[in-house]
């Protein structure tokens, strides 16, 4: 599913896309995926420092590294960026974060979860089952990994974050919590932009059949890629 969208994104932005290998739940529960994402950054730093060699990245610009991920990957973007803000990654520079339809939720159902249409890529049952498998044993959806704006999470104002482009879909089941995150980021004086795709649902761009046959889905996918391209160009 991801190959077609990220190859298109790579061509559009003239960027090298690195896919991070992540250990899977429930054998490796969160924060394992976040640790794996951060380890990938440390690997890139070792390449930037000349400690290791990777011919495929010989033309990489380590001064402009962006984190990007969708759904639960959007959560990982936030937490890897937050962890990076506590370390010296030079000569690597984290230039931005792009969470797409991040899986931010609370233990209590939001209005959008109760009213928005469910889609093949996200249903309430999927949210409950996937997070039940992934979150630390005994945790609820109010855990900071899934609710970085909740009372259990570190205040956003205390985090050192790069510029963010938050991408959301107007018919996403979890749009309410995503918008809470955006407003909290703005209140904390973080550099965050908002890109809204209208009339589409969670991870709509992964539905290749819809992208190929539905003009609206295709147009919104192009809008998403264009917005990401502009964000990367600006940073």
| Closest listed residue to residue 62, CA positions, set 40, 47, 52 | 47
Q: Rounded to 5, what percent of the chain is helix, strand, coil?
A: 45, 10, 45
Pairwise CA distance, residues 173 & 156, whole Å: 24
DSSP assignments along 154-209, one per residue: PPGGG-----EEEEEETT-TTHHHHHHHHHHHHHTT--EEEEEETT--TTGGG-HH
Share the mean pLDDT of the chain. Answer: 96
Could you give the CA distance from residue 88 to residue 215 in angstroms, rounded to a whole number? 45
Say if residues 205 and 199 touch (Cβ distance below 8 Å): no
8 A C-beta contact, residue 91 and residue 49: yes
Chunked mean pLDDT (size 10), the chain, 235 residues: 90 94 95 97 95 91 97 97 96 98 96 91 94 96 97 96 98 97 98 98 93 96 97 97
CA neighbor of 6 nearest in space, from 69, 94, 83: 69
**Catalytic hit among 70, 71, 139, 203:** 71
Q: Is 71 a catalytic residue?
A: yes
Annotated catalytic residue, options 84, 110, 172, 176: 172
Structure confidence by residue, pLDDT tens digits, 3-20: 889 999 999 999 999 999
Closest CA to 31 of 40, 19, 23, 41: 23
Domains of the chain (ranges, CATH numbers)? 2-234 (3.40.50.1820)
- Taking the C-alpha atoms of residue 205 and residue 43, their distance in angstroms, rounded to an integer, is 29
pTM, entire model: 0.96
For residue 103, which of 138, 137, 65, 129 has the smallest C-alpha distance?
Answer: 129
- Give the per-residue pLDDT at 21: 92
Spatial neighbors of 33 by CB under 8 A, at least 6 apart, are 22, 23, 25, 72, 76, 134
């Amino acid at each position: 599913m991801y190959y077609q969208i990220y190859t298109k994104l790579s061509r559009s932005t003239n960027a090298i896309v690195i896919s991070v290998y992540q250990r899977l739940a429930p054998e490796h529960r969160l924060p394992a995926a976040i640790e794996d994402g951060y380890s990938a950054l440390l690997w890139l730093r070792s390449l930037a420092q000349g400690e290791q060699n990777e011919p495929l990245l010989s033309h990489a610009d380590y001064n402009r590294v962006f984190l990007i991920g969708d759904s639960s990957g959007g959560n990982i973007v936030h937490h890897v960026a937050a962890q990076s803000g506590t370390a010296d990654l030079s000569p690597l520079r984290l230039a931005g974060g792009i969470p797409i339809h991040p899986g931010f939720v609370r233990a209590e159902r939001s209005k959008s979860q109760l009213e928005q249409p469910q889609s093949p890529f996200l249903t309430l049952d999927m949210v409950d089952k996937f997070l039940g498998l992934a979150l630390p044993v005994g945790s609820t959806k109010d855990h900071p990994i899934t609710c970085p704006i909740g009372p259990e999470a570190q205040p956003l104002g205390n985090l050192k974050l790069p510029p963010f482009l938050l991408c959301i879909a107007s018919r996403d089941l979890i749009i309410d919590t995503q918008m809470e995150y955006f407003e909290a980021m703005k209140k904390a004086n973080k550099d965050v932009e908002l890109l809204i795709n209208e009339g589409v649902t969670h991870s709509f761009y992964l539905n290749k059949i819809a992208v190929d046959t539905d003009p609206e889905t295709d147009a919104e996918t192009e809008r998403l890629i264009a917005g990401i391209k502009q964000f990367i160009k600006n940073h």
